[in-house]
Structure 1
Amino acid sequence: MSTDLVDVHAHWLPGELFGLPPNSPFGAMQDRDGELFLGDVPLSIRTEAMSDVDAIVADMDASGIGVRALSAPPFAFAVDADVPAGEYTDAFNDALAEVVADSSGRLVGLGSVRLDDADAADRQIHEIASQGALVGIAIPPVLRGGSLDVGVLRSVLRSASANRLAVLVHPMQLPRPEWSKYYLANLVGNPVETATAVASSILGGVLEELPDLRICFVHGGGCAPDLLGRWAHAWDARRDVRVGSSTGPRELFRSAYFDTVTHDRAALDLLRAHAGKNRIVCGTDYPFDMAEADVAGFVDAAGLDRSALAAGSREFLGLNIRSEVSA
């Protein structure tokens, strides 16, 4: 199979870090007879799919993926404000850098940062950029009652932009009582978390302030493509909606990247109608149960041009920048 796709959205975590960051809201990950659990909740994936690099590369070969960007699973984000997680995130970044270095160019890395202290995160981002082993970072869309327009997350985006690092925004599947059944924390919660981050980055002026920021929202932007018209109408109609930005939502939407994990041709078509040129990138969500198992078949059936997808993915990840620097 041709391996011309560049997957920006896949996950990896080494077994020695299954304990997750201090005070993780989900409890530790566990391997039970080859199956992966989060606390006592089965994740419906084999442990090796998350932690074994050979299994990851074998999936790439079977799926037509030439290059894959690995990031931590979202429950490994260091979201607790009271316990510094520099030791954990540094350990993940070091392990990921080693995996990338040994991959003969097949894998690139999106590291993790501590989210308890903006200044500490800034220093960590600068170190990631200086070392040059990883191409970016992955962060949650919401944090302690805020989103990308405020607090630590906004500071992290400023720092990532200044250091020319890509940013992947991935929802955390946060629990709520009304989403306790039918996997709704994922099926409804994840798209809502992501749409909140997209709206906050647009209406809060983040994308306007940071025009060079390379930021990708996974799962096709969640609910955002469906709501963009509503946001644009409100931006025209209400002063409080446009107080944080001087550019309309439709234009700013086109400056972000969005992956193909939509599970629906019509949803992907709507995203294509709103997104900017080369701003849709290939994603799989490997190895989770909501992953797009046949990504090549899905993008081909949707009429997406593989070369354009690859160009967008490389642009987001900064692989072209790295090639220029190393030349």
Structure 2
Amino acid sequence: MAVTGNIRAGVVDVHAHWLPDDLLSLPPGSPLGEMNDRDGNLFLGDHPLFLATEAMTDIDAVIADTATAGLGARAVSAPPFAFPVFFPAEADDYITAYNDHLEQAVASSGGTLVGLGLVRVDDVDAARREMARLAGMPGIAGVAVPPLVQGRSYGNGVMREVLGAAVDTDLAVLVHPMQLPRPEWQDHYLVNLIGNPVETTTAVASLLLSGVMDELPDLRICFVHGGGCAPALLGRWGHGWRSREDVRHGSSRSPAEPFTQLYFDTVTHDPEVLRLLTAHAAPNRILCGSDYPFDMAQPQPVQFLVDHGLSPDALEGNGRAFLGIRP
């Protein structure tokens, strides 16, 4: 179902996070513990997140910060710590509660917020049931999902079927990394600085080389952080596709072609990386993103894009098309 109603005019930020106070406990199995407030600052277990708790939990603060950033509207989704991936069969109540809270938050925002809900990616029947419910909620545009779960991505199996369910229910899909730990990334915040773009890159490659976009041409799917390393590796993937049967056996087109069907946000932190992304992606698939309210957020998302040649009108139109916002 398309998002209808009076969504505020202006650039749409598709990549921002919100979680209500009473769901800071996170779904079952969170490996780092619950999110918690300490003197107005947000922690994940004992790890500081270096942001004010109200920026993540207070919907009025989110709305005010959206206006301050020069945005018309913002699509909010759960932080990746809240993805129901560790014990998903035990997370249905958490998913339902988050999506109900999200519907209420969006309805109270005066057209400033659009919602991207939670859904399981391990069970296509459960995903379909919740997507059908989300599709009936005014102001809910789609779902936010992780790029990888237990070493698998969207090239085959249940995760691929979940994308088909999103198409069937006319929901957008935002793919956000989870900072999966690896021993070599334990220092210097490398789990984010390297891990996040690598997770995203893996999911992009899985999608392109498995023929998902041939099977699901109407899929509206966005990869955050500028697609990770994917724009820089697209030529390498194309060479492999032309040279090796095991690379191309799942797809009928060189990866550069279906790449133009994917959406990407603009959280690149570097104008040269932004130029590389816009050189490979379709102009109508570039979306404003911020990663609000995290410390790795693009602090002035609109100004960054305008300063480097992107049109606010085009960005607004692209965001509305991705989210299915219609008059």
Verify same fold: TM over 0.5.
yes
Counterparts of 1:140-289 in structure 2, within 5 Å, are: 140-289=146-295
The alignment yields a C-alpha RMSD, in angstroms, of: 1.3
Deviates more, 1:119-128 or 1:257-266: 119-128
Q: Residue 284 of structure 2: SS of its match in structure 1?
A: coil
Higher relative contact order (CA 8 A, sep 6+): 2
Match of 1:123 among 107, 120, 129: 129
Q: Contact between 1:84 and 1:116, CA under 8 Å: does it hold in 2?
A: no
Distance 1:214 1:117 in 2: 20
Which runs of 5 or more residues in structure 1 are unaligned? none
Q: Contact between 2:12 and 2:320, CA under 8 Å: does it hold in 1?
A: yes
Residue in 2 that maps onto 1:38 = 44
Deviates more, 1:149-158 or 1:33-42: 149-158
Q: Contact between 2:288 and 2:302, CA under 8 Å: does it hold in 1?
A: no
Residue in 1 that maps onto 2:77 = 71
Q: Contact between 1:284 and 1:293, CA under 8 Å: does it hold in 2?
A: yes
- Deviation, 1:81, is 4.5
Q: Contact between 1:23 and 1:83, CA under 8 Å: does it hold in 2?
A: no
- Relative distance call for 1:82 and 1:94 in structure 2 (3 A) is closer
Match of 2:143 among 118, 123, 137: 137
**Aligned partner of 2:143: which letter?**
I
What are the Cα deviations for residues 168-190 of structure 1, in whole angstroms up to 9, with x where unaligned?
Answer: 00000111100000000000000
What are the Cα deviations for residues 104-124 of structure 1, in whole angstroms up to 9, with x where unaligned?
Answer: 111000000123422111111
Q: Contact between 2:205 and 2:230, CA under 8 Å: does it hold in 1?
A: yes
Distance 1:311 1:219 in 2: 20
Q: Residue 14 of structure 2: SS of its match in structure 1?
A: strand
Distance 1:212 1:276 in 2: 15
Deviates more, 1:179-188 or 1:201-210: 201-210
- Deviation, 1:132, is 4.0
Distance 2:234 2:87 in 1: 32
Q: Residue 297 of structure 2: SS of its match in structure 1?
A: coil
Between the aligned residues of both structures, percent identity stands at 58
Distance 2:122 2:322 in 1: 26
**Aligned partner of 2:152: which letter?**
G
Distance 1:132 1:7 in 2: 19
Q: Contact between 1:22 and 1:83, CA under 8 Å: does it hold in 2?
A: no
Q: Residue 258 of structure 1: SS of its match in structure 2?
A: strand
- Deviation, 1:100, is 0.6
Residue in 1 that maps onto 2:113 = 107
Distance 1:191 1:170 in 2: 10
Residue in 2 that maps onto 1:19 = 25
**Aligned partner of 1:241: which letter?**
V
What are the Cα deviations for residues 134-180 of structure 1, in whole angstroms up to 9, with x where unaligned?
Answer: 11000000011101112332121110011110000000011110000
Q: Contact between 1:198 and 1:221, CA under 8 Å: does it hold in 2?
A: yes
Q: Contact between 2:28 and 2:87, CA under 8 Å: does it hold in 1?
A: no
What are the Cα deviations for residues 3-32 of structure 1, in whole angstroms up to 9, with x where unaligned?
Answer: 721100000000100000011223110001
Residue in 1 that maps onto 2:5 = none
Q: Contact between 2:154 and 2:207, CA under 8 Å: does it hold in 1?
A: yes
Residue in 2 that maps onto 1:89 = 95
Distance 2:303 2:138 in 1: 34
Q: Contact between 2:88 and 2:120, CA under 8 Å: does it hold in 1?
A: no
Distance 1:131 1:82 in 2: 23
Q: Residue 144 of structure 2: SS of its match in structure 1?
A: strand
Q: Residue 158 of structure 2: SS of its match in structure 1?
A: helix
Q: Residue 153 of structure 2: SS of its match in structure 1?
A: coil
**Aligned partner of 1:66: which letter?**
G
- Deviation, 1:130, is 2.9
